[in-house]
Chain A
Amino acid sequence: MIRINCPYCGERDHSEFSYGGDATINYPSLDASEKEWTEAIFFRKNIKGFQFETWHHSNGCRMWLVVERSTVTHEIKSVKPCHPDLQKVVENNK
């Protein structure tokens, strides 16, 4: 079991969460080429090592989180809210 330290609820089993995916995807502008959109939607870095990824605390507070996790050892370095403004609120309340 992976334990994820939710900034709102505390440390919980990963079975409470749903895995989202790569948190580093930047979507291009609407008038960008098909090639750029294909790259953003379908192509992935598929990192072997630490990556930023999204998780949804679907059976908890239902907030989306950005987790920095190793895809080899499953070690977690950081857990933050997805929304940048909420990140600030959580930081200020520490």
Chain B
Amino acid sequence: MMPGNHEFYEHSLKLWENLSHELNYNVMFSQRAHVSLFHSPGAKDSVSRIYNIMRLHGTDAELWDLKTLKKKIPHLNYHNSRFPILGAAVQKRAGNARHDAVAWGYARAADTLGVDILQNCEVTGFTRKNGNIESIQTSRGIIKGKKIGFAVAGNTSVLWQMAELGNLPIESHKLQAFVSEAVKPLLDQVVVYGVGGAHFYISQSDKGSMVFGGDLDWYKSYAQRGNLPMVQDVAEAAMAIFPSLGRIRLLRHWAGVMDMTMDGSFFICKTPISNLYLNAGWNYGGFKASPASGWYFADLIANESPHNYVQNHNLERFEKGINIDERGAGPDPKLHG
């Protein structure tokens, strides 16, 4: 709700809406509605305030009362007496996309525009000249460039230290995702809830699998595999809201390494090296931001100054005390959901 943040994500959503056409590749973007459940009058007031601000800024948002919600999604657990569902906050233009198609679509469109994509090519070092980075050493040779951008979620700190730039306000944590066996059409929306220590999202893919997930594994890690306590936590969260999933089998789960930042917001900024640019720290929210992340990063590199919307998304904001999207969790990266 801070100035800049809302405009950034609304722009991202608008880019998503035309992404399949722009890339000439069907990313299967489906605006099926993002349904965020609330479980107490306090939560309803809080989310009403946020969604009213969204509406005042021209973004779609609405509240569903219990009657509407029951009609739209009849098979949620409406009998939980500890955390009863009272309704939902809904953004109807939100939804999901097929992530593989997004990656392939971008790759093909970039290739058509003349971008070289080098696979299996690890960065091993940097050659500096007059304070700038002159070239990148890789496992497949040296690459020279006038301007260098880092966009390497999860391993940003490793590259940053390789360039002898010291520490970053980032820790690497892993976040798991889960996919079940395919079932007949069961859920038409993306359903999210967070109450009583739980944090859970779920939707159904076009193949029929239930796709869901929850919190980080809670300890710092670069290991790209999830641990079992979180599998149990997420399964419990699923059962609390969707008891009908009780007999469904889990096909696979995996973990990705996240840049978790000290305030839960990202970086699109210049760095102490004048020809190096940083795009990092996407926490839980990188996928929805992908098109805008690329757009504003390209804008920064081309024009040498950040767009108004991302002008505070820099490394100096901690020293200056600039708030971006804080929820008062304090300087602990794992707490920024």
Contact = CB atoms under 8 A, between A and B. Distances in A.
Interface string B137-164: 0000000000000000001011001000
B159 to A, nearest CB: 11
A74 interface: yes
A44 B170 contact: yes
Given A19-B220, A71-B221, A72-B223, A43 B169 contact: yes
B227 interface: yes
A39 B262 CA distance: 12
Contacts of A92: none
B209 interface: no
A92 to B, nearest CB: 30
Contact of A71 (B168, B222, B228, B318): B222
Given A21-B332, A71-B220, A46 B172 contact: yes
A48 B334 CA distance: 17
A44 B227 contact: no
Given A2-B227, A19-B334, A71-B222, A44 B158 contact: no
B114 interface: no
Contacts of B218: 18-19
Tell me if B's interface is mostly helix, strand, loop or mixed: mixed
Contacts of A35: 319
Interface string A35-57: 10011011111101001010000
Contact of A14 (B219, B222, B332): B219
A1 interface: yes
A72 B157 CA distance: 14
A73 interface: yes
B167 interface: yes
Nearest to B219: A19
Interface string B209-242: 0000000001111110001110000000000000
Contact of B167 (A18, A21, A44, A48): A44
A15 interface: yes
Contact of A38 (B157, B229, B319): B319
A34 interface: yes
Contacts of A44: 157, 167-171, 333
A43 B223 contact: no
Interface in B281-337: 318-319, 331-334
25 contacts: A1-B228, A13-B229, A14-B229, A15-B229, A18-B218, A19-B218, A19-B220, A21-B171, A21-B220, A21-B334, A41-B331, A43-B166, A43-B168, A44-B157, A44-B168, A44-B169, A44-B171, A44-B333, A45-B157, A46-B167, A48-B155, A48-B157, A71-B220, A71-B223, A74-B223
User: Considering the complex of A and B, which 10 residue pairs feature the smallest CB-CB distances, nearest first?
Assistant: A46-B157, A19-B219, A43-B167, A15-B229, A38-B319, A42-B318, A42-B169, A42-B262, A48-B222, A71-B222
Interface of B: 155, 157-158, 161, 166-172, 218-223, 227-229, 262, 318-319, 331-334
